[in-house]
Structure 1
Amino acid sequence: MESRRGRLHPAVARTREAVRAMLADLPRDTTVLVACSGGTDSLALAAATAFEAPKLGLQAGAVIVDHGLQSDSAQIAETAAEQCRTLGLDPVHVKAVEVGAEGGPEGAARTARYDALRDAADESAADVVLLAHTRDDQAETVLLGLARGSGARSLAGMAAVAGLLRRPFLELPRATTAAACVASGLRPWHDPHNDDPQYTRVRVRHEVLPILEEALGPGVLEALARTAGLLRADADALDMLAAELAESAVRRTDDEVHCDVGVLETAPDAIRTRVLRQAALEAGCRATDLTAGHIAAVDALVTGWRGQRWIDLPQGVRAVRRGGFIVLGIDVTG
């Protein structure tokens, strides 16, 4: 961990500084959990949190999610849990989950994982769960958003703070977490899924980004992550305006969401489509399945009405124009 001259290794120092800055606003005695898979990024986060949290008067524990996707997944999870205990984290939860099929393998695993993290937080009365996403992860997220033709919110990438979840390492490259593990004598587990090309993110990481770096020169990762930050500020402002518009344009029943065409049709496109997207989510669509194409089709019911019957959306949600409203719900009819 320390150099021959007794100085803290720069990578370890950077991970600790990032965690300290992320936790600095929390009141003393707050419980914080680290989501740890035992991999390089999360193990570096666990070590940094174990060091910094007590200095801030915080209780720091960990949660390990066993997705059950490999034959030895239970042992891998227990090894990660033991590493967290050795670092001094307490309590340490191991959560076994069943990964469904909806949303594809990556989406289904993510849904199961985040549900488990929230359950662990409830059990520990934790106010914060720390995630180990790095600048590299952020760049990959932006590229995936571009490939899907997503809007500014998706291109804004992951937020450093999103409710319960916090990401201290979003401005650190993956190389820093790897160096911190080496310097600290930690032995991360390498997930073979991180090299499996059946996963879209893996192909972006190992095929797309190297080509971009070769064609455009170094700094692509940093530029993509920086772009996410800029777009996030814009998206936050637009979302705030959309929320204000929704107060007068949207009403909800137990089964349906009604959007007033008369109010929406005079709003700017960027605001109106945000209101419609939120309405679709409230009607039952899953964000990961709801595309810009879906929202454009619903928007056409407002701005390009020519007697269309309805628009079918993910999760069985339907949007139809009825009596001056766009009505969204399961199996709604005109």
Structure 2
Amino acid sequence: MNPDLFNETVSRHLTAQLAQACPRAARPGLLVAVSGGADSTALLLAARHWATNTDSPLAAAHLHHGLRGVEADGDQEFCADLCRRLDVPLHTGHEDPRPLARERGKGLEEAARHLRRRFLAGVLASDDTLHAVATGHHRDDQAETVIMRLMRGTGPDGLAGIRPVAGHWLHPLLTVSRAEILAYLQAAGQSWRHDATNSDGANTRARLRRELLPVARGIFGPGVEAAAARLAELQDADRELLARWTDEALARCLRDEDLDVDTLTALEPALAARVLRIWLGTEDLERVHVEAVLKWLDTGISGTGLDLPDGRRLEREFDLLRRPRNATVPGRNASEYRILVRNEEITDDVSRDTDRPDDESTWSLVCPADVLQGRLRVRNWAEGDRMRPFGLDGTKKLSDLFREKKLPAKARPGLLVVEDDAGILWSVGVARAERTRLLPTTGSAVSLRVVRRQASEVQRPGNKNP
């Protein structure tokens, strides 16, 4: 493929996808996930072209899994050299997926993917100039994903494959084939790294490429990958319509954060299933589990509960379906967390308490900028800690707040607090101090986010140490 045409195509996709993922960002910055392989190398080159033309922030990130010895070391060195030459900052980290694979009973490939996404999300959260992550998934990857999901018995959402935009995750190469990527790199005179496990490995995707796709091409012709990718595009268009219907049905069912049982069970079963998945925040709820929930709601009575996979539990209280708010919080060490502070625009919903102790993605608080005094710090709570919660004239012990919130004793050692020189201003996921209240007279506001520290370092242009 002509390098100029490739760069313009990817730049156009990046601009459109960033506008969809970050509509409020005036100058959205991009983090590119790089492995050293052909796909991510081509993406970084094209993204560099986009960043130069739009004067937008650009950085790259590489996670070393320690699985392939000197070959993996070579991948990281390649990424470091490439980023130095392109004058792009590189974030690096090192995490072995084998312990996680053993702990979860999952495959090594899935565990590595989980660690990469966590690493990239951490880098994104730590840099105010970056707004989205772009990965090098292309049309052939899309086709393979659709075929694998089809063989496993997926539904319409699964057949939609990899979304071009999924939250803050962008996939600007989905319309480009692997052959076009290789042709682009060759025309640009750019080398890349080769991971033999992508084609010679025993994982499902490698075997599909090596064994199944050649047979499919022999039966259906050389356009089999393009046809599978086209199916994903068609399903994605249908999925948008289904998503709108689901959002409308969910709005009818919601009662604050709970679901009205009568409204939910009156829906068509397929629509009720989609509502449940969205409400629970997971696409992994299988058909058998959905049917079990609906049957339980038809026959169950108030005060009963139902356990779902991964430790999730639902409870029925009269006509409401609820997710227990007292989920056990794993033990946490405050030294593994840091506070990110950024200026925040004051809107109608920024002061709503939506953070939960068991969900680190919700740990965000917006408060007046002028109430912060001295240095901010995060620590584990301790017996005797006190704060002044919303609506109280005096202070209250945190232990009393925890009891009121029905947080079990075994969950409390992992709870964190944020404090400044004036005392505790936030019991993370539990309560905020009265002084953090946003008032009509509030001039400027800041957001505080507590995020997990990453075992990564940042390579800046000109630094020769990878």
Query: TM-score scaled by structure 1?
Result: 0.82
Structure 1 equivalent of residue 360 of structure 2: none
Structure 2 residue matching 1:187: 3-state secondary structure:
coil
Which of 106, 109, 114 matches 1:111?
Answer: 114
Deviation at 1:30, TM superposition (A): 3.4
In 1, the alpha carbon distance for the partners of 2:38 and 2:287 equals 35
Matched, 1:20 2:11: yes
Q: For residues 168 and 154 of structure 1, what CA distance do their matches in structure 2 show? A: 19
**Could you tell me which residue of structure 2 aligns to residue 243 of structure 1?**
247
State the match for 2:398 in structure 1.
Answer: none
Structure 1 residues 17-54: Cα deviation after superposition (integer angstroms, max 9, x where no partner): 22210233567753222211000111111112222320
Cα 1:29/1:148, change in 2 over 3 Å: same
Higher helix residue share: 1
Question: Residues 1-334 of structure 1: matches in 2 within 5 Å?
Answer: 10-25=1-16, 29-72=27-70, 73-86=72-85, 88-99=86-97, 100-101=100-101, 102=104, 103-124=106-127, 125-251=129-255, 258-281=258-281, 287=283, 289-302=284-297, 305=299, 312-319=307-314, 323-327=318-322
Distance 1:221 1:118 in 2: 30
**Conserved 8 A contact 1:28-1:57:** no
- Between 1:28-37 and 1:168-177, the stretch displaced more is 28-37
- CA contact 1:250–1:259 (8 Å) conserved in 2: yes
Contact conserved, 2:58 with 2:130, CA < 8 A, in 1? no
**1-side partners of 2:172 and 2:120: how far apart?**
17
**Greater Cα radius of gyration, structure 1 or 2:** 2
If the length of structure 2 is used for normalisation, what is the TM-score? 0.60
In 1, Cα distance between equivalents of 2:318 and 2:165:
41
Alpha-carbon distance in structure 2 between the residues aligned to 1:252 and 1:66: 43
What is the one-letter code of the residue matched to 2:268?
A: P
Partners of 1:301 and 1:320 within 8 A in 2: no
Look up the SS of the partner of 1:295 in the other structure.
Answer: helix
Aligned-pair identity in percent equals 34
What secondary structure is seen at the aligned counterpart in 1 of 2:69?
A: coil
Distance 1:211-1:296 versus aligned 2 partners, 3 A rule: farther
User: Aligned AA for 2:29?
Assistant: T
CA distance in 1, matches of 2:295, 2:156: 20
Offset at 1:92? 1.4
Unaligned runs of 5+ in 1: 1-9
For residues 306 and 123 of structure 1, what CA distance do their matches in structure 2 show? 46
The one-letter code of the counterpart of 2:269 is: D
Partners of 2:145 and 2:161 within 8 A in 1: yes
Greater shift, 312-321 or 179-188, is seen at: 312-321
Contact 1:160-1:168 at 8 Å conserved across structures: yes
Given that 1:260 and 1:325 are in contact with CA atoms closer than 8 Å, whether structure 2 keeps it comes out as yes
Structure 2 spans left out of the alignment, 5+ residues: 20-24, 329-466
* 1:194-243 Cα deviation digits (max 9, x unpaired): 13443112122222222222122232211111111111121122122222
Deviates more, 1:244-253 or 1:204-213: 244-253
Contact 1:36–1:43 at 8 Å: present in 2 too?
Answer: yes
User: Following the alignment from structure 1 to structure 2, what is the Cα–Cα distance between the partners of residues 312 and 200?
Assistant: 31
Q: Which moved more, 1:66-75 or 1:222-231?
A: 66-75
* Deviation of 1:280 (Å): 3.6
